[in-house]
Structure 1
Amino acid sequence: MNYWPLMGIALVVIGFALRFNPLLVVVGAAVATGLLAGLDPAQVVEALGKAFNDNRYISVTWIILPVIGLLERYGLQQRARAVIEGVRGATMGKLLVIYLGFRQITAALGMKDIGGHPQAVRPLVAPMAEAAAEKSHGSLAEDEREQVKAMAAATDNVGLFFGEDIFFAIASILLIQGVFESAGYPLTPLQLSVWAIPTAICAFIIHGWRITALDRGLGQRRRSTRA
């Protein structure tokens, strides 16, 4: 068995660890994997082109980004903040835990593109989380504001990643099924999806705790500053 193609995984890890451009890292790892697998350069380019053409995610991006930019220009973030400021008892912890559950449930139903960083986190979730944190704890320092934004983005990632595997028609489930079948363990996509549910529940509990811990931490910093 040829293990050299697995070097592509190492290239991805090293590239991300060194903070190189993610697009260059992924493309470079894909090209290296193809070459190490014995494909000639033309076949590698053909495989990349076919994958790009089959998915066509870039066309969706070109549609979404101008719309989001136009909405932000006309005050979408400000309106999102104003909505949260007017909600009684709203906290950053409650907001992000609810969004985490929403993201996991919708991803489990196959609606994985209903959220996301460009269309949901940046224009809506992050500003609402900031507003909720300021409402509960007062004005935030710049590093605290960045922590809230990062937690909003991480919440979307966790919700999608651990929710989508419950949907048995997702590509990752089909990939896992193929790997198990080649190793002599025939499993149906539904069986794999069922066993993804405990993992999703654990992810919800663990990340929910991280969200509430950050919310409590912001409150403790405010109290220590006042003291």
Structure 2
Amino acid sequence: MTLWPLLGIVMVIAGFALRLNPLLVVVCSALATGLLAGLEPLAVVAALGKAFNDNRYISVTWIILPLIGLLERHGLQQRAQSLVRTLRGASLGRLLVAYLAFRQITSALGMKDIGGHAQTVRPLVAPMAEAAAAQTHGDLSAEQREQIRAMAAATDNVGLFFGEDIFFAIASILLIQGVFESAGHALTPLQLSLWAVPSALCAFAIHGSRLLRFDRRLGRGGTGGGQ
């Protein structure tokens, strides 16, 4: 057994310490490790290609994020705000309550990645919430805009956290099942997910009331602090 392949780890540490391109460091380290282990160059490249192909869906995230940034640069947020201004009766509270319901329902169906801070809240939900608040309450201060963005992000968190446990195939449900089973309580994932429904309903009622109260405080000139 030779220890030469471990030099790949040293290369990774040195490359990161020198702040070199991470992708270049990892690829070069992988190639060096394979060659030092006695593999042929084509075998090393084939192993890298197979690993990339087996995990190709992970790379989708790095494609979506630049796409969202490009859309924002070309006016995605402004388009979202314009859409809200065309809706009659649209208000900050109603909009965020509707998004809370959407986030909880889709998460309960297992579609927990359909929303999120980077892909939904920042480019769509927060600008739409700001436009709805400005349409109802007039010009907003910088502090009020920050409060609205924080509430939009919190709404996504609450909807996801209390909605995903209703989906019985989620990792958290399986973890809870394992803990109960180790304690001698045999429960199925479906039983656990059903008990998550009351918590989700309470979370919707509590956070929904916070959103509506926050909207009213903006109308009275407050910032919604302390909610």
TM-score (norm 2): 0.72
Q: Which residue of 1 aligns with 2:31?
A: none
Unpaired runs of at least 5, structure 1? 1-53, 223-227
Q: Which residue of 2 aligns with 1:119?
A: 119
C-alpha separation in 1, matches of 2:57 and 2:217: 38
Q: Which residue of 2 aligns with 1:164?
A: 164
Q: Where do 1:15-34 residues align within 5 Å?
A: none
Structure 1 vs Structure 2 CA RMSD? 1.6
- Code of the residue aligned with 1:218 in structure 2: it is L
Q: Deviations over 1:165-221 (max 9, x none)?
A: 000000000000001101111100000000000000000000001101110000011
Task: Give the CA deviation at 1:60.
Answer: 3.5
Q: Which residue of 2 aligns with 1:73?
A: 73
Is 1:136 the counterpart of 2:136 in the alignment? yes
Q: Which residue of 1 aligns with 2:84?
A: 84
Task: Give the CA deviation at 1:61.
Answer: 2.6
C-alpha separation in 1, matches of 2:55 and 2:175: 16
Q: Deviations over 1:29-77 (max 9, x none)?
A: xxxxxxxxxxxxxxxxxxxxxxxxx998863331221110011011000
Is 1:201 the counterpart of 2:201 in the alignment? yes
C-alpha separation in 2, matches of 1:214 and 1:183: 43
Q: Where do 1:167-182 residues align within 5 Å?
A: 167-182=167-182
- Code of the residue aligned with 1:214 in structure 2: it is F
Q: Which has the larger radius of gyration?
A: 2
Q: Which residue of 1 aligns with 2:212?
A: 212
Aligned length: 169
Q: Which residue of 2 aligns with 1:20?
A: none
Identity of aligned residues (%): 75
C-alpha separation in 1, matches of 2:155 and 2:57: 22
- Code of the residue aligned with 2:129 in structure 1: it is A
TM-score (norm 1): 0.72
C-alpha separation in 2, matches of 1:200 and 1:169: 17
Q: Deviations over 1:127-180 (max 9, x none)?
A: 000000000000111111000000000000000000000000000000000011
- Code of the residue aligned with 1:71 in structure 2: it is L
For the structure 1 residues 109 and 75, does the alpha-carbon distance in structure 2 shift closer, same or farther, using more than 3 Å as the test?
A: same
C-alpha separation in 1, matches of 2:58 and 2:71: 20
